[in-house]
Amino acid sequence: MKIKNNNKIYKIFNIKSIKKLAVAILPLLAFFLFWQVGSGFVPRGVISSPTKIATAMWAEFLRVKPASNMGGHTLLGHTLVSLSRIAKGFSLAASIGIVLGFLLGSYFKFLEKLLLPFFHVCEKLNPFAIIPVFMIIFGIGDEEKIAIVFWAAFWPILFNTEQGAKSVGPSLIRAAEAMGADKLKVFLKVLVPSTIPSIFTGLKIAIRVAFFMIIASEVVGATNGLGWYYVQQKIVYKLPLVYGSILFITLLAIIFNAVFTRLERHFLAWKEV
C-alpha cells in the first residue's frame, strides 16, 4: 500500500516538474521560432537566424586552434579569461563587502553613521563612466578589469549585508545572550543565519553587475576576453558570431545567477522546515 502511495506522489511530482519546465521553456521556444521565421523577412546583413547562430557558435566551441585575429585564444579561452577576472574581482568584493557589512550593521554603529553616507555617494557614481579613470590608474590589463568588477560588485553586497545585519532584532540578540551565548555564538548562531537571505540578494545582484561590467571594460579596452571577442567579430562583421556572443554572455550570467539561487536554497533549507 505504501509503495502505491509513493508511486502516486512520484507521478504527481513528475507532472508538476514537467509543467514547470514547459512553462519556462515554451516562451523561449516561441521567441526563437519567431526570430527564425522573422529573420527571413529582414534584409540580409541586419539580423542572423538562430540556426545560423547555433551552427557558428558550435563551430567556435569545437575550434582547437584560434583564428589569426583572435589574439591567440579560442572562444573557450576568451571565456576563461573573462571568468577569471570576474572570479577575482567578485570574490574580493564579496569577502570585503560581507565583513564590512556585518561590522557596519551590527557592532560599529558609529562607523555606519560616519561611512555610510560616503559609501552611498560612491555607489551612485556610474561605473561605466569611471572605466576611463580605472584605465588611467591601472592600465588596460587584468588589474583594471578586476578593479572594475570589484567596484561594481562591492556596493550591492555591502549594502544588502549591512541592511540584513541591521534588521536582526535586538530582542533576539538579548534572548541569546540571556541563554548564555557569548558574542561569537551570537554572531554565528543568530546574526549570520538571519543575514544570509540579504547576503544572497546582494550576491545575485553583484554577479549580474559583474558580467555587465567585465564585458563593458573589455569592449572599451582589452586584448582578450569575451568583450574583446565580441568587438573582433563585429569588426569583421561575422553576424552570427556577433549575436551568438551576446547570447552566450547572457547565458553565462543566467547560469551563475541560478547557481547562487541554488546555494541560497541550500543554506536556507532550515527556513522551509
Q: What is the three-class DSSP state of 238? A: coil
For the chain, give every domain's residue range: 2-38, 59-272
Choose which CATH entry (3.60.60.10, 1.10.3720.10, 3.40.50.720, 1.20.58.220) describes domain 59-272: 1.10.3720.10
CA atoms in the 13 A half-sphere facing the CB of 40: 6
Amino acid 33: pLDDT: 85
Distance CA 208, CA 257 (A): 7
DSSP single-letter state for residue 1 = -
Q: pLDDT value at position 12?
A: 47
Q: Where are the alpha helices (DSSP H) in the chain?
A: 2-38, 50-62, 75-102, 109-124, 131-138, 142-166, 170-178, 183-186, 192-220, 226-235, 239-267
What distance in Å separates the CA atoms of residue 250 and residue 235, rounded to the nearest whole number? 21
Tens-digit pLDDT profile for the chain (273 aa)? Answer: 444 555 544 444 566 666 766 666 788 788 888 888 887 887 777 888 889 999 999 998 888 887 777 777 888 999 999 999 999 999 999 999 999 988 887 777 777 788 888 888 888 888 888 888 898 888 888 899 999 999 999 999 999 998 888 877 666 666 666 666 666 666 667 777 778 888 999 999 999 899 889 999 998 888 888 999 999 988 888 899 999 999 998 889 888 888 888 888 877 765 554
pTM above 0.85, yes or no: no
Residue 28 CA from chain centroid, whole number: 21
